[in-house]
A and B are shown apart, each in its own frame.
Chain A
Amino acid sequence: MKEIYEVRMHGRAGQGAKSGSQLLAEAAFKEGKYIQSFPEYGSERRGAPTVAYTKISQTELRSHEPVLHPDAVLVLDFGIMRSIAVAAGLQEQGILIVNTKVCAADIQKLAGFSGPTYSIDATSISLDLLATDTPNVPMLGALIKLTGVVRLESLESVLREHFLPKLGEEKVRKNIEMLHIGYDEVTK
């Protein structure tokens, strides 16, 4: 793994880009890595475009600058690609994962990116299991499958810690299930 692995998540407020970024960072933290996770704050309102960053490193992270050259970009909302250049600065060997049923070729056209592109219907997964459009957890499952940036078990344990006190055992189980479905279903 390169010295600092950087992930950028684009979504709409309410879809969990910020918490997704934090869950990923905490999973890496559990594995003994140095981490940073922070969102760009605008005028927060549900549905507005949001972006959140995760940095994972073997050495201490000192810089507080945003992620300009991500290794992976996760897009939680397909439609956002019409107004936001989600692939800006994405490394050629980097990967783009989009929450959609649309095929990779169409995504690449919209995103202006020719590198490795993957799709996962994370909204349907979260609607099926939680009856809400919170695609962040299945998206993280897909990221883990494709990059191995953290272990599945690390993220499971972070989900448990975060959601058990707030949401209870049932929702924790469903979140872990979503993580696994994302992991299993991601397609090129």
Chain B
Amino acid sequence: MGIRKAITGAQAAAEAMRQINPDVVVAYPITPQTPIVEQFAAYVADGIVDTEMIPVESEHSAMSATVGAEAAGARAMSATSSQGLALMWEIVAATPGLRLPIVMPLVNRTISAPLNIHCDHSDVMGVTTLGWIQIFSENAQEVYENILLAIRVAEDRRIQLPVMVNQDGFITSHAVEPVEIFDDAAVQSFVGIRSLERSLLDTEHVRTIGAMALPDYLFEAKRAQEEAMGNVFQVYKEVGRELSSITGHAYPYFETYRLDDAEAAIVVLNSAAGTAKVAVDAMRGRGKKVGLLKPILFRPFPYEEVRAALENIPAIGILDRSMSFGACAPVYTEIRSVLYELDTRPKVQSYVFGLGGRDILSTEVEAVFEELLTGELDSKRQRYIGLRG
């Protein structure tokens, strides 16, 4: 049993970082990530952690310094949102190839323009091809636990890849909710200390990190990276089981909610999944068989397992909080792809919602379920929830 606190998603991320007590944290404040860094800076100033915190002049420098520290052998973390992620993109893209297991909370906010500080997933969906492991969190509790899980997955010898732990800007990051914080000693024993095995400062085993690789070698390096990504499923399960012994919670690749006998299902990431659960309960209360699938591990994507969970659902609505202009929306793309191997495929419908922080109401999710149950779907046309005009 841990201690229950009333804290925000941002504070939950900072609590996880306090328990991890990284060697180095480098960050530049950006709304709505700022309260993570503020809270963590207070821990540093109060001597609660012995992290070396480096304030820098931009996110490009933040990720550069995080990479430098991690390459040296430190456990280094940063945190960002939206434009911050955009500015650090060059180094973010390099991190997986450098095989540096950096864990970074990402507080999802729309990418400008128009300028807007609120939630959607256009920041993370712009980096899902880069080779970071991507984990999504419905609420502050999941943010906290996913960050602990991420450290061990990232640093596992079979992985050595960076992880972003996503939470919805403001909706999760700035809302106060009950969060159970588990025993410091138990969590610290779980996260352990990063092995220096591959570090630059291991002078017994001199190595180069960030070497140039021409056409004769780069391809093999990238293939090795893909191999490590494939190992994530196994490691995620193992580490999840270990974390379960502290938290009592399970760490599946995705969560299903009242899905077993469902005639219609919704697939949606992050906080909207909580709102969708309320809609599922309301519909079930009226005798409508509907359910939910909430992806948690988004990179790598567990195609086989998601397929097994969805194959018998007649109609599936996929709700995306970002667009892929001129193409299918990102989550929709994955689910369509999931269903390809089936002989009889469910009907699917793509919905876009919540851009720039537009609210999603449980009644709107109920309306989507009603539409799915009519079967009048068009897999080639994207529909919009809560859009004017």
Contacts and interface: CB of A to CB of B under 8 A. Distances in A.
Interface residues of B, number: 24
Interface stretch (B170-178, B213-221, B243-251): B170-178
B108 interface: no
Contact of B176 (A37, A62, A64, A68): A37
A83 interface: no
B272 interface: yes
Given A25-B6, A26-B6, A38-B170, A63 B176 contact: no
Q: Which of A22, A39, A62 has the most CB of B within 10 A?
A: A62
A32 B149 CA distance: 28
Contacts of B170: 38, 41
B360 interface: yes
B277 A64 contact: no
Q: Which of B168, B172, B178 has the most CB of A within 10 A?
A: B178
Given A29-B6, A68-B361, A62 B275 contact: yes
Given A38-B176, A41-B118, A64 B171 contact: yes
Contact of A29 (B171, B174, B178): B178
A65 B177 contact: no
B48 to A, nearest CB: 14
A36 B174 contact: no
A39 B171 contact: no
Nearest to A25: B176
Contact of B174 (A39, A61, A68): A39
A187 to B, nearest CB: 31
B178 A35 contact: yes
Nearest to B174: A38
A54 B118 CA distance: 20
A65 B6 CA distance: 19
Q: Which of B171, B172, B177, B275 has the most CB of A within 10 A?
A: B177
A62 B362 CA distance: 10
Tell me the dominant secondary structure on chain A's binding face.
mixed
Contacts of A35: 6, 176-178
Given A35-B6, A41-B170, A68-B361, A62 B175 contact: no
B127 interface: no
Nearest to B171: A64
Q: Which of B6, B359, B360, B362 has the most CB of A within 10 A?
A: B6
B327 to A, nearest CB: 28
B248 to A, nearest CB: 15
Contacts of A38: 170-171, 174-176
A64 B275 contact: yes
B362 A65 contact: yes
Interface string A103-134: 00000000000000000000000000000000
Contacts of A26: 6, 176
B278 A63 contact: yes
Contacts of B168: 64
Interface in A37-78: 37-39, 41, 61-66, 68
A163 interface: no
Contacts of B178: 29, 34-35
Kindly list the 3 A-B residue pairs having the minimum CB-CB distance in the complex, ordered from nearest: A38-B175, A62-B274, A37-B176
Given A39-B174, A61-B177, 18 more contacts: A25-B6, A26-B176, A29-B4, A29-B6, A29-B178, A35-B176, A38-B174, A38-B175, A41-B118, A62-B139, A62-B277, A62-B278, A63-B275, A64-B172, A64-B271, A64-B275, A65-B360, A66-B359
